[in-house]
Amino acid sequence: MAGKPLFLQWLLISVLAEFLQFLFSGVTIGATYALVGLGFAIIYNASHVINFAQGEFVMISGMSTVSLLAVGMPLPVALLLAVGITVVVGVALEKFAVEPARNASVVTLIIITIGASIFLRGAAEVIWGRDFHSVPAFSGSEPIIIGGAALLPQSLWVIGATVVVIIALRWFFGRTRTGKAMLATSYNPLVARLMGINTRFILSLSFGLAAMLGALAGILIAPISLTYPSVGVMLGLKGFCAAILGGLGNPMGAILGGLIVGVSEAMTAGYISSAYKDAVAFVIILVVLVMIPNGLFGVKGTERV
């Protein structure tokens, strides 16, 4: 008599555990997409440029970490330096590729940033070769069991760091003069300049900030997914999905977009088929765009004729 309820209980628990497992991996990868998507949003706000080299920031920080560890640096120092190197690359990208092409058309700017991403990937292959590298997890790889599902400590790092970044960004944009200057520039660059805001500096800053976010995503996810020169391609495109899904230029939308993409991807891979895992993000984006052409939280601007 007691067999049946027990069986149901067991079934429920295992179903729940499985669901939790997929949710953990979805939120982890979703947080990475969110960080990359945030970078897209910040650069877009400051300059109306879509930076297709955003995924390369993820790759550069991961690969730099590998090299820095190889020369014997302690992990925290290597991670910090890797982020620093990526920020320098990001600012250089703005100075040497985007700044000279200001006011060029959307297509031209898209090709320039894609050219930059090919260039950076090419440079990475020259410097590091085409091999896959692994990076040690920040605090061991002994999984934590929650509700029957295993959670890697590294996932906690990814999620925790993303939360910290979100809080820090809210403070930066809401409380600091520089952050407010960035917001002002995104609303109206001309008026911002008239108010004495150095919009050129804001532009460099936005690339630096976006590179930092990409770099963070890179060092956080490298211990889970390995790192190699073309690791940034799909990550960059999915980050772009996240940014568009949330409504281009809306940072909080990009974060939610990233989480939606990540979780749906993990659920599809878990419950349906892992073959079409990579297609999920693009199917979602097509369905959403067809129904809501400005993304989930995008502002429907009035068009000026």
- Report the residue from 75, 81, 101, 296 that binds another protein according to the rule CB under 8 A: 101
Residues in the chain: 305
Tell which one of 6, 126, 190, 194 touches another protein (CB under 8 A). Answer: 126
Site residues for another protein, window 217-246 (CB under 8 A)?
Answer: 233, 237, 240-241, 244
**Binding of another protein by 147 (CB under 8 A):** no
Of residues 40-69, those binding another protein (CB under 8 A): 44, 50
Binding window for another protein (CB under 8 A); candidates: 29-37, 150-158, 250-258, 272-280: 272-280
Provide the minimum distance between the beta carbon of 268 and another protein in the complex, in angstroms, as a whole number.
12
**Binding flag, residue 290, another protein (CB under 8 A):** yes
Interacting residue with another protein among 4, 72, 293, 300 (CB under 8 A):
293
Shortest reach from residue 305's CB to another protein, in Å: 5
Q: Which residues bind another protein (CB under 8 A)?
A: 44, 50, 97, 100-101, 104-108, 110-112, 114-123, 125-126, 233, 237, 240-241, 244, 248, 275-276, 278-279, 281-283, 285-286, 289-290, 293-295, 303, 305
